[in-house]
Chain A
């Protein structure tokens, strides 16, 4: 500790001074960064939080001197004593640079990169070259930057991989042979190869599932303790991840630093309206039954010049002055806040934020849960299975031997009931089969075996028909299509780019030939658009999807799904691609539609916190099998299955720090091809016993909260105690 204090007293390791970056594009000049000032001392862990377009990645690129040639720079970035980004040597000016100059620049940069600054990029999947082994690629760093002999390099690489808690055997494998989490560890090992002074991690856990994410965070914490990572800049859109690692947090929005303060201070008492509203947008499993507000409006268009604050148009506390003049980054003690009213807020943040608060977008009774248990059942799944045949092509079927046929058991034996007006959360990691289940329920995929009973009754009675094997051309199936709709994860992918919004929204109307009258269709479209709060609807009708922001697109997708007032909506990760500030209001939209129209929703997600926020019941699914089911409060507060326990513990929550250790869960999600004979979770379960290997576990618990395991809670507790004693 003392040692650290001494280090902190030295001059800054990295200095960013008046840095502005503008990108010249075909669509106008994007002002990505405005007057950024930042100092990082050795030994600090800095977190940068921001939504997409906030400039956080541009800042990271400036710090690692990787700005593209269409960037126009002013100000500078200094690392130790070297200027690494400045108007003369970065972006635009490199294009016209002479060869000799460029050579000098490249060699200085090569010296700084890896040795001084190294980077852990987003998306470990793509950071390795697929045709070389991991070992070769890590060795390369040494060959380029050092003169060490071959044997020594090999030894160093092995040591390195061990510090990242990887087995040295991964060195001989190719990138595709490793899972996402292992690859990310290998990337971290590579970044630490030459023990750099500064490590920049740009969204290091995005794209990993919750448990791998928790492990990577633990890994980074451990490496700090061991002194392997000296200084870290961690960039993420997820305040949860940042708050686990950083000492000091910078909040960015629209190319400006909006707030800078120590982590705890910023979480408890934000001094900036944006931070305040952002914190209010995160669903958390610790905050109970509190309505999330989200931030209204859309991310700013950075190509436009505006006289005032870039956040003003979305800010609930905005006054006249906010639209007219740009605020300054005010210093309040150790903290900084970019707001006209920073002084006033700093005096009493809570008073400011509560007294000036206008009525929220959503009514507060959205979260009120009516008792749905008396409602009629809308859909019953019985032993539903969906297997995928691994050999797909005709020639493969001709020439492949029958015995080598393999199946992916994407959905295996799911039995479930969904009541009318219920929101059921389907939670699972990637590869768990949750998306497949959603699609099988909608019958966009065929059922392999099992029953899918749907209640076609128009009144309160029951009229169940099994539609699992019904032909697509039949009348019954068409009726089912009319009852169901879906919204998808990626709002950029789920709207046809060549169609107008009005055509997209009215597509189901045309498909089901509900009406042919164009006037009536337009009326329906405009009504539905206003239902999903795209106001005024006329503004959106004659536009193309690419003109809208992600949040607006997802609302258009919602309008398309809702125009025929379906009974069942399958929402497949509808918010995971949206910016944090837009998520809450989309969830509130689902809740309000449910309230108004008694909509039934199958909400598929990997994010337990959001599932808890909107669903009545949650089913946790693992390798195609439902392993725990319960009401959302029960399941979160009192998880029964070892997997659910680990999953909930792994969520990086803004409001709580948890120690996640290797004993909680082993390895990563397996594949659904070679599933274990007994319990599916056997390979990863820390509680596993001999019996789990070959025997199918029974259902335990009550009808309203069950889980699948060989052991009761007391037995599990005993196993854990025994293990800890060892």
Chain B
């Protein structure tokens, strides 16, 4: 063959990207998300933080009891007790994104496995798994998260475990639905007629064909998890006295001052949260369109 060897997998990936970037909203979303991820990564190497203070903690300065408005020294102002909101937000991005990825990846992996197995074997297994997901869906997830935290403790790790327990059913359901459709396609039967075993059929034939909606769900959930963590921290369900750098925590301590006119204490963390959630949702929307063959021309 004369022409250069191409990798069709990369080609189809590039085509997805091309379609994704046709929409300005998606481009905006991708750029913002990349900036957030870059901040989270670069923060790791901030010389002012390495070895001096705990990266995972806000730095209080009790010499500044009153919140200071934005100034060159504190671009986003400060909040009691002397926390610089700008560095606070940078740290918060790191914690929030890391937390969200941890929860969503583990939730998705376990949900996807359970979903494929449940759909493939069907019958009683499927019935039991689906009723369990029904139970999870019937409890408001915030309440469930609070309950888990209440019993197991309030550390960030336990909170993430709680959220993983809450999050897998979404993926299990999405994948199950997809797998049921894929299972009926004839290449699965062809594989069975060729003598291919169950696990290979599940993981080589069915699973790869169910992943597109998972990516979409994944990007929406990253935003949702960040918002959930912020909500929990905002209502005071944060690890006590830990000065956890999180947008929700920042807003919750700034909230009281915002009421008396110190607007910067809540506007900047809130805006940081909003921007990330918006961008992630735009990416998710764009991905959904790009991955859906029906919307291609």
Asked whether A718 is an interface residue with its Cβ less than 8 Å from the other chain, the reply is no
Among A395, A482, A547, point to the contact of B8 (Cβ < 8 A).
A547
A26 lies within 8 A of B18 (CB) = yes
B9 to chain A, nearest CB (A): 8
If A394-B127, A547-B8 touch, does A511 touch B196 (CB 8 Å cutoff)? yes
B205 to chain A, nearest CB (A): 5
Asked whether A383 is an interface residue with its Cβ less than 8 Å from the other chain, the reply is no
A485 lies within 8 A of B8 (CB) = no
B191 lies within 8 A of A507 (CB) = yes
A406-414, A492-500, A516-524: which lies at the interface: A492-500
Among A394, A442, A481, point to the contact of B124 (Cβ < 8 A).
A394
Q: How far is the CA of A497 from the CA of B211 in the complex (A)?
A: 13
Among B9, B185, B194, B296, point to the contact of A485 (Cβ < 8 A).
B194
Asked whether B74 is an interface residue with its Cβ less than 8 Å from the other chain, the reply is no
Q: How far is the CA of A218 from the CA of B294 in the complex (A)?
A: 37
B1 lies within 8 A of A538 (CB) = yes
Asked whether A32 is an interface residue with its Cβ less than 8 Å from the other chain, the reply is no
A498 lies within 8 A of B191 (CB) = no
B15 lies within 8 A of A26 (CB) = yes
If A493-B187, A512-B195 touch, does A539 touch B127 (CB 8 Å cutoff)? no
B195 lies within 8 A of A25 (CB) = no
Q: How far is the CA of A498 from the CA of B13 in the complex (A)?
A: 12
Among B9, B190, B196, B209, point to the contact of A494 (Cβ < 8 A).
B190
Asked whether A393 is an interface residue with its Cβ less than 8 Å from the other chain, the reply is yes
B187 lies within 8 A of A511 (CB) = no
Interface centre among B12, B123, B191, B194 (most CB of A within 10 A): B194
Interface size counted on chain B using CB atoms at 8 A? 30
Asked whether B193 is an interface residue with its Cβ less than 8 Å from the other chain, the reply is yes
Asked whether A488 is an interface residue with its Cβ less than 8 Å from the other chain, the reply is yes
A575 to chain B, nearest CB (A): 15
B1 lies within 8 A of A442 (CB) = no
Which residues on the B side are within 8 Å of A24 (C-beta)?
297
Q: How far is the CA of A515 from the CA of B237 in the complex (A)?
A: 59
Asked whether A490 is an interface residue with its Cβ less than 8 Å from the other chain, the reply is yes
Q: Which residue of B lies closest to A477 (CB)?
A: B195
Among A481, A482, A496, A510, point to the contact of B187 (Cβ < 8 A).
A496
Asked whether A589 is an interface residue with its Cβ less than 8 Å from the other chain, the reply is no
Which residues on the B side are within 8 Å of A661 (C-beta)?
none
Asked whether A343 is an interface residue with its Cβ less than 8 Å from the other chain, the reply is no
Q: How far is the CA of A547 from the CA of B193 in the complex (A)?
A: 25
Asked whether A544 is an interface residue with its Cβ less than 8 Å from the other chain, the reply is yes
A498 lies within 8 A of B196 (CB) = no
B185 lies within 8 A of A542 (CB) = no
Among A26, A484, A493, point to the contact of B19 (Cβ < 8 A).
A26
Asked whether A478 is an interface residue with its Cβ less than 8 Å from the other chain, the reply is yes
Asked whether B51 is an interface residue with its Cβ less than 8 Å from the other chain, the reply is no
Asked whether B197 is an interface residue with its Cβ less than 8 Å from the other chain, the reply is yes
A560 lies within 8 A of B297 (CB) = no
B139 to chain A, nearest CB (A): 22
A532 to chain B, nearest CB (A): 15
Which residues on the A side are within 8 Å of B185 (C-beta)?
493-494
B123 lies within 8 A of A394 (CB) = yes
Q: How far is the CA of A557 from the CA of B194 in the complex (A)?
A: 11
A484 lies within 8 A of B193 (CB) = yes
A498 lies within 8 A of B193 (CB) = no
B1 lies within 8 A of A508 (CB) = no
B186 lies within 8 A of A395 (CB) = no
Q: Which residue of A lies closest to B200 (CB)?
A: A511
Q: How far is the CA of A496 from the CA of B201 in the complex (A)?
A: 11
Q: Which residue of B lies closest to A442 (CB)?
A: B193
B297 lies within 8 A of A26 (CB) = yes
Q: How far is the CA of A23 from the CA of B197 in the complex (A)?
A: 44
A543 lies within 8 A of B8 (CB) = yes
Interface residues of A in 516-548 (CB under 8 A from B): 536, 538-539, 542-544, 547
A694 to chain B, nearest CB (A): 39
Interface residues of B in 190-226 (CB under 8 A from A): 190-197, 200, 204-205, 208-209
A508 lies within 8 A of B297 (CB) = no
Q: Which residue of B lies closest to A495 (CB)?
A: B187
Q: How far is the CA of A539 from the CA of B12 in the complex (A)?
A: 19
Produce 1/0 per residue, B157-198, CB < 8 A to A. 000000000000000000000000000011101111111110
Main secondary structure of the interface of B (DSSP, over half): helix
A355 to chain B, nearest CB (A): 35
A497 lies within 8 A of B209 (CB) = yes
Asked whether A233 is an interface residue with its Cβ less than 8 Å from the other chain, the reply is no
Which residues on the A side are within 8 Å of B18 (C-beta)?
26
A379 to chain B, nearest CB (A): 15
Asked whether A486 is an interface residue with its Cβ less than 8 Å from the other chain, the reply is yes
A539 lies within 8 A of B189 (CB) = no
Asked whether A444 is an interface residue with its Cβ less than 8 Å from the other chain, the reply is yes
Among B8, B15, B196, B208, point to the contact of A507 (Cβ < 8 A).
B196
B191 lies within 8 A of A490 (CB) = no
B194 lies within 8 A of A511 (CB) = yes
Q: How far is the CA of A486 from the CA of B18 in the complex (A)?
A: 39
B19 lies within 8 A of A494 (CB) = no
A485 lies within 8 A of B297 (CB) = no
A557 lies within 8 A of B190 (CB) = yes
A213 to chain B, nearest CB (A): 25
A511 lies within 8 A of B296 (CB) = no
Q: How far is the CA of A495 from the CA of B195 in the complex (A)?
A: 15
Asked whether A70 is an interface residue with its Cβ less than 8 Å from the other chain, the reply is yes
If A24-B297, A394-B123, A538-B1 touch, does A498 touch B192 (CB 8 Å cutoff)? no
A557 to chain B, nearest CB (A): 7
If A488-B186, A494-B186, A499-B204 touch, does A511 touch B8 (CB 8 Å cutoff)? no
A26 lies within 8 A of B195 (CB) = no
If A393-B127, A497-B209 touch, does A488 touch B190 (CB 8 Å cutoff)? yes
B193 lies within 8 A of A486 (CB) = yes
B213 to chain A, nearest CB (A): 15
A37 to chain B, nearest CB (A): 28
A70 lies within 8 A of B194 (CB) = no
Q: Which residue of B lies closest to A393 (CB)?
A: B127
Among A23, A444, A511, point to the contact of B189 (Cβ < 8 A).
A444
Q: How far is the CA of A485 from the CA of B208 in the complex (A)?
A: 24
B189 lies within 8 A of A25 (CB) = no
Interface residues of A in 15-52 (CB under 8 A from B): 23-26
B12 to chain A, nearest CB (A): 8
Q: How far is the CA of A543 from the CA of B19 in the complex (A)?
A: 22
Interface residues of A in 445-504 (CB under 8 A from B): 478, 481-482, 484-486, 488-490, 493-499
Q: Which residue of A lies closest to B194 (CB)?
A: A508
A445 to chain B, nearest CB (A): 10
B252 to chain A, nearest CB (A): 45
B2 to chain A, nearest CB (A): 10
Q: How far is the CA of A498 from the CA of B192 in the complex (A)?
A: 17
B209 lies within 8 A of A544 (CB) = no
Q: How far is the CA of A496 from the CA of B124 in the complex (A)?
A: 28
B193 lies within 8 A of A496 (CB) = no
Q: How far is the CA of A507 from the CA of B189 in the complex (A)?
A: 13
Q: How far is the CA of A465 from the CA of B18 in the complex (A)?
A: 58
Q: Which residue of A lies closest to B208 (CB)?
A: A498
Q: How far is the CA of A539 from the CA of B193 in the complex (A)?
A: 27
Name 13 extra pairs, CB < 8 A, besides A493-B187, A538-B1: A23-B297, A26-B15, A395-B127, A482-B195, A490-B186, A493-B185, A493-B186, A511-B191, A511-B197, A539-B1, A542-B8, A543-B8, A560-B194
Task: Report A's interface with B, CB cutoff 8 A.
Answer: 23-26, 70, 393-395, 439, 442, 444, 478, 481-482, 484-486, 488-490, 493-499, 507-508, 510-512, 536, 538-539, 542-544, 547, 557, 560
**11 pairs from A and B in contact (CB 8 Å cutoff):** A23-B297, A25-B297, A26-B296, A393-B127, A442-B193, A490-B186, A493-B186, A496-B191, A539-B1, A544-B8, A544-B12
> Which 10 pairs across A and B sit closest by C-beta, in order of nearness?
A508-B194, A481-B195, A498-B208, A494-B186, A511-B195, A511-B196, A488-B186, A394-B127, A496-B187, A486-B193
